[in-house]
A = this chain, B = another copy of it.
Amino acid sequence: MPHPARPTVTLREVAAAAGVSVATASRVLGGSARTVSAENARKVLEAASELRYTADVAARAMRRKSDSIALVADDLTTPSIAQVVAAMERQARTVDAFVTVSAAGGDTRRQLETVRTVCAFRPRALVITSSWAATTAYGARLAEELHAYERRGGRVVIYGDMDAPFDAISVDDRGSARLMGAHLAATGHRRIAILAGTRERTFAAARTTGFLEGLLGGGVDVRDIRVIDCPVSRAGGYAATSRLLEESPGEFDALMAVNDTIAVGALSACRAAGVDVPGRLSVTGFDDIPLAADVTPRLTTVALPFAEIGERSIRLALTVAGRPDRPGVRRTVIGRLMVRQSSKVI
């Protein structure tokens, strides 16, 4: 055969072209500790670039630790996650690592499935967002799976909370939410409705608690606060707010949402119902997604340092594993109050 249709160009061919052994070629291209003569190194590099050689990671992964980091996120369409992912990408690039992303949207069961799938790639580290309560059967099995992965030499980093000793970077949702509660109380708001999302979302529960603490600490009467569950989505915020405005018009002077997406839905409902924001009702969000500054009125919210979160997650993921049974390292970041036009001083 004069021109065998090669499936891919291998190290063997590079070595042959350079006139050295595969071992030598591997040492040059793979960044080995062993030294290779300058002359041979040059020839190998030349041949590799000539043949457009790229090492097959699959084969490489068999003998060497991989440099891919797997991110298992709930939902990639969430604006906040997108920002975190982008930051991770940037950070990983600086250390020649590589981030693969997969969505496990939904629940702990899907998370478990996805983790198993990603583990098959034998990544160097696993970053997993956890916004679901780990109390279900699947949650426990998930933790078990992650532990098994760590025992096999992997690194696990949680973004969010989990009742298990993994390294974690988490937002102090409760403390950050307290800031917002205190702010509304301080600016004279006294009758508050909280759009609390759903109970299974741990961040939603923590933020609701923080809101309450801040409000109560600022002198708001607990009987003047109403906590309303709703789906964590724009539509959820819209529906809950519409219902609220219809059933008890004028009863509240502030509406606090556990995230910006819900808050945007709420704003939309207010506009539809002809309720002036912030004239008759202050509305606040949480996250400071890019959209928050673009809605009308611009949304008062709590800004979270997503870029920092992404960067730190990767840094944590790349530190070498310590003792298998050491307690998890936990980094906490706190949000910053962003007062804009959707809330006012009463």
Contact = CB atoms under 8 A, between A and B. Distances in A.
Contacts of A57: 58, 120-122
Given A52-B148, A100-B102, A117-B98, A82 B76 contact: yes
A19 interface: no
A29 to B, nearest CB: 12
Contacts of A99: 102
Contacts of A264: 294
A86 B75 contact: yes
9 contacts: A8-B122, A76-B86, A76-B89, A77-B82, A77-B86, A98-B117, A99-B102, A234-B290, A267-B294
Contact of A295 (B9, B83, B294): B294
A22 interface: no
| Number of copies of this protein chain within its complex | 2
A202 B5 CA distance: 35
Interface in A1-57: 5-9, 52, 54-57
A5 B76 contact: no
A152 interface: yes
Interface of A: 5-9, 52, 54-59, 61-62, 66, 75-77, 79, 82-83, 85-86, 89, 98-103, 105, 116-117, 119-122, 145, 148, 151-153, 234, 264, 267-268, 271, 290-291, 293-296
A135 B15 CA distance: 34
A286 to B, nearest CB: 16
A83 B267 CA distance: 23
Nearest to A267: B294
Which of A6, A57, A79, A83 gathers most chain B CB within 10 Å? A57
A52 B146 CA distance: 11
Given A9-B152, A58-B61, A100-B102, 5 more contacts: A7-B152, A56-B62, A57-B122, A77-B82, A101-B101
Given A52-B145, A61-B58, A83 B89 contact: no
Nearest to A51: B148
B291 A151 contact: no
A91 B100 CA distance: 18
A273 to B, nearest CB: 15
A9 B149 CA distance: 10
